[in-house]
């Protein structure tokens, strides 16, 4: 085990995979000479040269599609799209091509590629640079979408994504890049399609992914300390495929669930989780499933408005307390107020 | 109207030529005019009048039109004569023409058979035919090596067959059967065969361009001697992926030939109404890429142009080839093409490359009328056989619906039919609290 940041883990894992397999190469805007907008690829151009680390023109459709074409011939491109907002420029290539080519041609061509891209919010980047639109890709059969919340999971899932023969959208988050954690030294890939129970508990199931899984774990730990609550936390890890069984089994045990998401509420990923719980654990529920999501506005620039629009720890805590109250559980209410 | 597709006219934007003055440019052209006129006559004689876009492309007119636009990049290209590779002897030419005719007739009869099956509702979806494009198809495909790759769009049946795919399997794909080239998953628009290096027909206009660019990148990455050809319609030149892909291909010196099949129409919108620069090959100047326009109704011209383009791409210089041809029918089988005037329709009949080549073969005493007729009969029988094969091929089993969800098996992959529950319904448990 080594303690590393999420950012450093991504860098080290990319480097290790490039050393392991010469078919692995990187493409993206400003990833070489500039070393990446978020410096994930720092030093890799100098080490591997411009064949393996390709700076591209600002042409998301063009270079994402080129990565797909290269993957069809057996290379393993890892594309960096500077933020997930810009992936919209490549939507046709991702949805109509990367996700379709294997099935549409009857399994004759694989597309072993990874699209790394961060979601965000909270950095005063305004409406077009703060979105969390991973749902668009998680909606599409043929895609795999993973969203690690810790450095260790980032390593294991990136290893899995690069070695996978299908197109994988690897969701990062601007707010996670500087977070730290223990990272195993061995190269064991995660199993895509599996959720992780990052904290066991009996009182309520708290579900999230990426930044919201990080928040979920922190809130659950804090409430254990302050309120003596025993909350189970599920980190989805994979948005497609979705590990419905882990979710349903947990809710059957806890009888209550709160879903956290950084995207918009209506039609969001939380809606799919809630529907899953309704379908698989309806009779076990003692309270309605609550969702905590971003306010349904274009993200404002103003710090005050931006903070109001984004889900916070307090929003999560309130939703937990309201849900437990609906269950009929009497709470100690240490510190945190709620209505 | 006469036509000159400038099959020998090559705009090269090599940077060292950028400083050429307009006067020098015109002088160069004047020096070439003799060969141009000769070429023009030859083309005019065998290929009937072209309308719209093609009509604009006489050498003089191009130059005259370009002069006012001198400030633009396109004003500076130099015109250079290309000596077409003279194919050895007349006999070889004759053999090649017969081979072309045989292939063109197969495409013709295959497409007609497909159209019939479509109108009989035996095949579904959309059905875009290569009728009128036969000379273009055989010319382009004859220039590729077996190891080269082809990406194309949804008007692709002829290309699939000319890449070496059994017409039976192509027809079975139209019928959506298990023996189809894409096992019934693709249909008319999405044929694919790795063995014959047809890397897909693509249904989204422009979708294949970034992919082809990437395949060329993979070839370069591995240091191989292969080339990617990427065909598209004239309307595709206006989509963003065209610009992004040509830029990347030229920037990275990728071994790819982009081929615009200009049949003058999008669906019903003319090139002139869709493209600010209707002479599409000139777009290449924006990417410092060599380009050429060729008569797509003459298979030999297409072959030679494709050979030049591929030779260039094989040395890492991507190329834009504009092939001007005709679409004899509507955009797809269901389109009655009411936007065409009776005059246009009459011209189309004269432009038809298949009977024109037949007439030439007989006139030049390469084949007798009886031999030409025999080829027709053979290929009609081939198309009928393909149809019979397709009809006899099995429908896919519904149990295979999820066979191609993912190439790497994955946990929690969804394999539910529409009415299936997410979870088995269980009896209501005792309340535990």
Tell me which residue has tokens 């309704």: A278
Let me know whether A179 and A53 are in one domain: yes
Which residue of chain A comes nearest to B221, CA vs CA?
A: A51
Backbone angles phi, psi at B260, to 5 degrees: -95, 120
Enumerate residue ranges in chain A where pLDDT < 70. 331-339
- Count of structural domains, chain A: 2
Q: Is the domain of A215 the same as that of A131?
A: no
* Strand-strand pairing, B149-152 and B78-81: unpaired
Q: Does B247 touch chain A (CB under 8 A)?
A: yes
CATH of residue A42's domain is 3.40.50.970
**Residues in chain A closer than 8 A to B215 (CB atoms):** 69-70, 72-73
What pLDDT, on a 0 to 100 scale, did the predictor assign at position B424? 83
Nearest to B215 among A70, A93, A283 (CB): A70
Query: Do residues A178 and A122 both lie within one domain?
Result: yes
- Same domain as A115, residue A217: no
Backbone angles phi, psi at A237, to 5 degrees: 65, -45
Q: Confidence band (pLDDT; 50, 70, 90) for B432?
A: low
Same-domain check for residues A6 and A58: yes
User: What residues of chain B lie within 8 A of the CB of A242, using their CB?
Assistant: 412
Cβ contacts (< 8 Å) between A97 and chain B: which residues?
A: 202, 204, 207, 210-211
Catalytic residues of A: 60, 129
Model pLDDT for residues B111-161, shown as the tens digit of each residue: 999 999 999 999 999 999 999 999 999 999 999 999 999 999 999 999 999
* Pair of tokens at residue A239: 């948005």
Band of residue B431 on the pLDDT scale cut at 50, 70, 90: low
Contact A283 B429 (CB under 8 A): yes
The answer as to whether A15 is a domain residue is yes
Across the interface, whether the CB atoms of B192 and A105 are under 8 A apart is answered yes
The answer regarding whether domain B86-392 maps to CATH 3.40.50.970 reads yes
In this complex, the residue of A59, A72, A283 whose CB is nearest that of residue B211 is A72
Closest residue of chain A to B218, computed from CA coordinates = A70
| A168 & A296 share domain | no
Is there a single domain that holds both residue A226 and residue A149?
Answer: no
Which of A66, A93, A189, A243 is the best mutation test for B, with the most CBs of B within 10 A?
A: A66
Give CA–CA dist B140/B147, Å, rounded: 15
> In degrees rounded to 5, what are phi and psi of residue A239?
-90, -30
**In this structure, is residue A337 part of a structural domain?**
no
Residues of A in contact with B151 (CB under 8 A): 69
Chain A residue with CA closest to B414: the answer is A241
* A142 neighbourhood in chain B, CB within 8 Å: 405-406
Same domain, A213 and A122: no
Instruction: Tell me whether residues A164 and B426 touch, CB distance under 8 A.
Output: no
Q: H helices within B47-174, ranges in order?
A: 52-55, 59-66, 90-119, 134-142, 157-162, 167-174
Provide the CATH number for the domain around residue A269.
3.40.50.920
From A149, A183, A217, the end of a domain falls on: A183
Question: Which of B191, B210, B247 is most worth mutating to test chain A (most A CB atoms within 10 A of its CB)?
Answer: B210
What mean pLDDT is predicted for residues B253-279? 96
* Bridge partner list, A53: A26
**What's the pTM value of the predicted model, to 2 decimals?**
0.88
A74/A206 same-domain check: no
Domain boundary among A183, A211, A240: A183
- Find out whether B127 and B118 touch, Cβ atoms under 8 Å: yes
Q: Which residues make beta-bridge pairs with A180?
A: A5
Instruction: Give phi and psi for B262, each to the nearest 5.
Output: -95, 100
Q: Which residue range is the domain that position A314 belongs to?
A: 196-327
Is the CA virtual torsion A282, A288, A291, A295 positive or negative?
positive
Instruction: Write down which residue in A183, A206, A232 finishes a domain.
Output: A183
Provide φ and ψ at A247, rounded to 5°. -65, -50
Give residue-wise pLDDT tens across range B351-365: 999 999 999 999 999
Residue A191 forms part of a structural domain: no
Q: Are residues A213 and A291 located together in one domain of the fold?
A: yes
When pLDDT is averaged across residues B273-289 and rounded to a whole number, the result is: 97
Instruction: Give the position of tokens 């382009």.
Output: B140
Task: Give the pLDDT band of residue B284 (cuts 50, 70, 90).
Answer: very high
Does residue A286 lie in a domain region? Answer: yes
pLDDT at B81: 40
Task: Give the pLDDT band of residue B428 (cuts 50, 70, 90).
Answer: low
- Beta strands across the sheet bearing A238-240: A53-55, A24-28, A76-80, A114-119, A168-173, A144-146, A238-240
Domain assignment present for residue A33? The answer is yes
Q: What is the pLDDT of residue B4?
A: 41
Same domain? For A158 and A92 the reply is: yes
Q: At what angle do helices B240-251 and A60-72 cross, to 10 degrees?
A: 70
A339 within some domain: no
Task: Indicate the domain borders of chain B.
Answer: 9-80, 86-392
Q: Are residues A124 and A17 in the same domain?
A: yes
From the list A68, A165, A191, the residue facing B407 with the nearest CB is: A165
pLDDT at B215: 98
Work out the minimum CA distance from B56 to partner chain A, whole angstroms: 32
Whether chain A has a CB inside 8 Å of the CB on B165: the answer is no
Q: What is the rounded distance in angstroms from the CA atom of residue A67 to the CA atom of residue B151?
A: 15
Upstream peptide bond of B108 is cis (omega within 30 degrees of 0): no
| Contact by Cβ (8 Å): B264, B54 | yes
Residue B267 scores a pLDDT above 60: yes
Closest alpha carbon to B211 in A77, A165, A118, A86: A77
> pLDDT at position A329, please?
82
């Amino acid at each position: 085990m080594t303690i590393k940041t999420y950012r450093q883990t991504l860098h080290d894992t990319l480097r290790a995979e490039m050393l392991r397999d010469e078919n692995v190469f990187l493409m993206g805007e400003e990833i070489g000479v500039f070393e990446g907008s978020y410096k994930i690829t720092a030093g890799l151009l100098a080490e591997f040269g411009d064949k393996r680390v390709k700076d591209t023109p600002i042409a998301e459709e063009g270079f994402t599609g080129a990565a797909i074409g290269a993957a069809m011939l057996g290379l393993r491109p890892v594309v960096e799209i500077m933020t997930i907002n810009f992936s919209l420029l490549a939507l046709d290539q991702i949805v109509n091509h990367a996700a379709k080519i294997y099935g549409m041609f009857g399994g004759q061509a694989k597309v072993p590629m990874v699209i790394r891209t961060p979601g965000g919010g909270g950095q005063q980047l305004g409406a077009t640079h703060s979105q969390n639109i991973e749902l668009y890709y998680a909606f599409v059969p043929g895609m795999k979408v993973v969203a690690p919340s810790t450095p260790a999971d980032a390593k294991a899932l990136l290893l899995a994504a690069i070695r996978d023969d299908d197109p994988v959208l690897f969701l990062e988050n601007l707010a996670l890049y500087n977070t730290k954690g223990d990272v195993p030294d061995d190269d064991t890939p995660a199993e895509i399609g599996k959720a992780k129970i990052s904290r066991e508990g009996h009182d309520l199931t708290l579900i999230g992914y990426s930044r919201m899984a990080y928040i979920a774990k922190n809130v659950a730990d804090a409430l254990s300390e302050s309120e003596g609550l025993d909350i189970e936390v599920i980190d989805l890890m994979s948005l497609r495929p979705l590990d419905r069984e882990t979710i349903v089994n947990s809710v059957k045990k806890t009888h209550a669930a709160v879903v956290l998401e950084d995207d918009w509420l209506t039609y969001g990923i939380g809606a799919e989780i809630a529907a899953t719980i309704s379908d698989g654990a309806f009779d076990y529920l003692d309270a309605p499933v609550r969702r905590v999501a971003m306010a349904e506005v274009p993200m404002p620039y103003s710090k005050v408005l931006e903070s109001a629009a984004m889900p916070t720890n307090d929003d999560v805590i309130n939703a937990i307390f309201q849900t437990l109250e609906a269950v009929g559980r009497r709470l100690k209410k240490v510190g945190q107020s709620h209505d | 109207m006469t036509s000159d597709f400038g099959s020998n006219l090559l705009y090269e934007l090599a940077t060292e030529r950028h400083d050429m003055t307009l006067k020098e440019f015109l002088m160069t052209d004047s020096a070439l005019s003799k060969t141009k006129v000769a070429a023009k006559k030859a083309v005019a004689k065998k290929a009937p009048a072209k309308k719209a876009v093609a009509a604009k492309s006489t050498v003089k007119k191009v130059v005259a039109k370009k002069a006012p636009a001198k400030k633009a990049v396109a004003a500076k290209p130099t015109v250079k004569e290309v000596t077409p590779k003279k194919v050895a002897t007349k006999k070889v030419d004759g053999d090649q023409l017969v081979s072309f005719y045989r292939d063109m007739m197969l495409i013709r009869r295959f497409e007609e058979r497909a159209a019939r099956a479509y109108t009989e509702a035996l095949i579904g979806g959309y059905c875009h035919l290569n009728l009128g494009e036969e000379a273009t198809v055989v010319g382009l495909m004859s220039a590729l090596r077996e190891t080269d790759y082809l990406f194309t769009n949804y008007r692709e049946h002829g290309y699939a067959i000319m890449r070496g795919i059994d017409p039976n399997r192509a027809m079975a794909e139209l019928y959506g059967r298990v023996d189809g080239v894409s096992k019934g998953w693709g249909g008319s628009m999405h044929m694919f065969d790795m063995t014959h290096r047809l890397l897909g027909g693509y249904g989204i206009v422009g979708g294949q361009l970034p992919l082809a660019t990437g395949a060329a990148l993979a070839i370069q990455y591995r240091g191989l001697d292969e080339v990617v050809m990427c065909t598209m319609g004239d309307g595709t030149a206006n989509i963003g992926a065209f610009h992004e892909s040509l830029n990347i291909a030229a920037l990275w010196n990728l071994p790819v030939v982009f081929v615009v099949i200009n049949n003058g129409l999008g669906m019903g919108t003319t090139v002139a109404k869709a493209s600010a620069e209707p002479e599409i090959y000139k777009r290449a100047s924006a990417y410092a890429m060599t380009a050429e326009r060729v008569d797509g109704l003459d298979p030999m011209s297409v072959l030679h142009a494709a050979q030049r383009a591929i030779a260039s791409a094989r040395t890492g210089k991507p190329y834009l080839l504009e092939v001007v041809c005709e679409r004899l029918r509507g955009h797809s089988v269901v389109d009655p093409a009411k936007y065409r005037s009776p005059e246009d329709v009459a011209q189309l009949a004269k432009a038809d490359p298949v009977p024109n080549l037949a007439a030439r073969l007989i006139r030049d005493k390469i084949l007798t009328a009886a031999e030409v007729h025999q080829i027709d009969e053979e290929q009609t029988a081939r198309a009928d056989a393909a149809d019979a094969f397709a009809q006899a091929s099995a429908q896919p089993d519904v149990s295979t619906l999820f066979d191609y969800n993912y190439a790497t098996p994955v946990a929690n992959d969804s394999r539910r039919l529409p009415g299936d529950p997410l979870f088995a319904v269980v009896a209501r448990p005792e309340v535990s609290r």
